[in-house]
Amino acid sequence: MNKTIFEKIILREIPATIHHEDDDLIIIDDINPVAPIHLLIIPKKKIETLNDLNAEDTELIGKMFQAAKKMAIKLGIDKSGYRTIFNCNEDGGQTVYHIHLHFIGGRSLGWPPG
Ligand code: 5GP
């Protein structure tokens, strides 16, 4: 099966700005940021979409949100605020089929999204 861009980043086959890495996750800058802070929190386990989550992935998803919270504190935007988003499939705007949590902040964000 072809590797996604995120698997290639995890394997260091292509470069990325890495903010954090552990056994389960990698956190990188989005190459095309939509705000002053735009990180991608990516599990090392390849799960194509949110629809493919199993019960065994529950802890992993929790770790992704714990990582978001820690990054917010580290970057000093926990009080001002930020947004976390999973896009799913075409209507959700998903373009990379390896789940990832967008972490966006550093400016006031509009609502609803387009
Ligand atoms: P999606 O549209 O699937 O929710 O989000 C995919 C994200 O990956 C997009 O925001 C896009 O800018 C980002 N992205 C695509 N290719 C690369 C890449 O090669 N490096 C990095 N760091 N981000 C990428």
Q: Is 51 in the pocket of ligand 1 (CB under 6 A)?
A: no
Q: Is 5 in the pocket of ligand 1 (CB under 6 A)?
A: yes
The DSSP symbol for 98 reads S
Residues of the chain with pLDDT > 90, as a percent, come to 96
Q: What is the pTM of this model?
A: 0.98
Comparing CA positions, the residue from 54, 16, 4, 34 lying closest to residue 109 is 34
- C-beta separation of 27 from 10 below 8 A: no
User: pLDDT tens digits, residue range 17-51?
Assistant: 999 999 999 999 999 999 999 999 999 999 999 99
What are the domain boundaries of the chain?
5-105
Task: Give distance in angstroms: CA of 39 to centre of ligand 1.
Answer: 10
State which CATH number among 1.10.10.10, 3.40.50.800, 3.30.428.10, 3.40.1080.10 fits the domain covering 5-105. Answer: 3.30.428.10
Q: What is the residue-averaged pLDDT of the chain?
A: 97
pLDDT exceeds 80 at position 1: no
Amino acid at 8: K
Confidence tier at 114 by pLDDT (50, 70, 90):
confident
User: pLDDT tens digits, residue range 42-84?
Assistant: 999 999 999 999 999 999 999 999 999 999 999 999 999 999 9
The alpha-carbon radius of gyration of the chain (Å, integer) is: 14
